[in-house]
Amino acid sequence: MRIDPVNLKQKNVLVDDYLNDFTKVENKFEYNPYDEETIKERATFLKQQTYNRDGLVEALTKMNDHWGAPEQTFTMIDKLKDQTTSAVVAGQQAGLLTGPLYTVHKIISVIQLAKQQEEHLGTAVVPVFWIAGEDHDFAEINHVMMKSQQRMKKIQLQSNLDQKSSVSDLPFDREAVASWLKRVFAEVKETEITRDFYQTIVKIVDTSESYSEFFARMIYQLFNEEGLIIVDAHHRDIRLLESNHFQMLIEENAAISKGVYAALQKNRQQGYPVPLDSEPGDAHLFYHHNEERILLSKNEDGSYSGKRDEVQLTEAELLQVAKEKPWQLSNNVVTRPLMQEFIFPVLAFVGGPGEISYWSVLKPAFQVVGLEMPPIYPRLSFTLVDRKAEAALSSLQLELKQVLEHGTAREKMKWLAATSNPPIERLSEQVQQEMDGIHKPLRDKAAELGPDIGALAEKNMGYINQMIEFLEQRMLQSIEEKYEREMSAFTELDVLLHPEGGLQERVWNVVPWINTYGIDVFQQLNKHQLSFQYPHYVVYV
- Say how many CA atoms lie within 13 Å of 64 toward its Cβ: 28
Q: Is the peptide bond before 422 cis (omega within 30 degrees of 0)?
A: yes
b/e map 452-490, b = 16+ CB within 10 Å = eebeebeeebeebeeebeeebeebbeebbeeeeebbebb
pLDDT band at residue 480 under the 50/70/90 scheme: low
Confidence band of 420 (pLDDT split at 50, 70, 90):
low
pLDDT tens for each residue of 38-95: 999 999 999 999 999 999 999 999 999 999 999 999 999 999 999 999 999 999 999 9
Per DSSP (E only), the strands in 6-113 are 86-92
Range 425-430 average pLDDT: 79
Please tell me the distance from the alpha carbon of residue 230 to that of residue 94, in angstroms, as a whole number: 11
Model pLDDT, residue 421 = 58
Q: Within a 10 A sphere around the Cβ of 163, how many other Cβ atoms?
A: 13
Among the listed residues 241, 218, 216, the one whose alpha carbon sits nearest the alpha carbon of residue 229: 216
Q: For residue 261, count other CB atoms closer than 10 A to its CB.
A: 17
Q: What are the tens digits of pLDDT across the range 166-182?
A: 888 888 999 999 999 99
The DSSP code for 327 is G
**Angle in degrees, CA 485, 489, 493, rounded to 5:** 170
Sign of CA dihedral 25, 31, 33, 34: positive
Contact 379, 351 (CB under 8 A): yes
Mean pLDDT computed over 456-465 = 93
pLDDT in tens, 270-298: 999 898 888 889 999 999 988 889 999 99
Evaluate if residue 469 carries a pLDDT over 80.
yes
Average pLDDT over residues 485-489: 85
* Domains in the chain: boundaries: 1-233+332-356+369-383+506-536, 244-331, 387-505
Average pLDDT, integer, range 345-372:
96
Q: Are 375 and 33 in contact (CB under 8 A)?
A: yes
Among 167-176, 255-264, 376-385, 489-498, the least confident range: 167-176
Do residues 102 and 499 lie in contact, with contact meaning Cβ atoms separated by under 8 Å?
Answer: no
CB-based contact 346:359 (threshold 8 Å): no
Range 382-401 average pLDDT: 96
Residue 487, pLDDT score: 81
- Cα separation, 360 vs 25, in Å, equals 8
Report CA-CA distances (Å) from 45 to 39, 64, 259, 373, 444: 10, 29, 23, 11, 82
Q: Which of 141, 340, 323 is nearest to 233 (CA)?
A: 340
Distances (CA, A) of 17 to 132, 213, 264, 452, 515: 28, 37, 17, 57, 38
pLDDT in tens, 212-250: 999 999 999 999 999 999 999 999 999 999 999 999 999
Q: How many residues does the chain have?
A: 541
- Neighbouring residues of 501: CB distance < 8 A, sequence distance ≥ 6: 407
- The H or E element that residue 233 is part of is none
Global confidence as pTM: 0.88
pLDDT at 506 over 70: yes
Residue 325 neighbours by CB distance under 10 Å: 14
Pick from 98, 380, 39: which is nearest to 230 by CA?
A: 98
**Cα–Cα dist 148/337, whole Å:** 38
CB-based contacts of 195, cutoff 8 Å, min separation 6: none
For range 90-104, the mean pLDDT: 96
Question: How far is 197 from 166, CA to CA, in rounded Å?
Answer: 29
Instruction: Provide the 3-class DSSP secondary structure of residue 497.
Output: helix
Nearest Cα to 529, choosing from 12, 32, 112? 112
Q: Which pLDDT belongs to residue 303?
A: 95
User: E strands along 386-486, which residues?
Assistant: none
Give the pLDDT confidence score for residue 138 in this predicted structure. Answer: 87
Residue 185 region by backbone torsions, left for phi larger than 0, else alpha for psi between -120 and 50, else beta: alpha
In 355-479, beta strands by DSSP E: 376-378, 382-385
Give the confidence band of 422 by pLDDT, cuts at 50, 70, 90. low
User: pLDDT averaged over the chain?
Assistant: 93
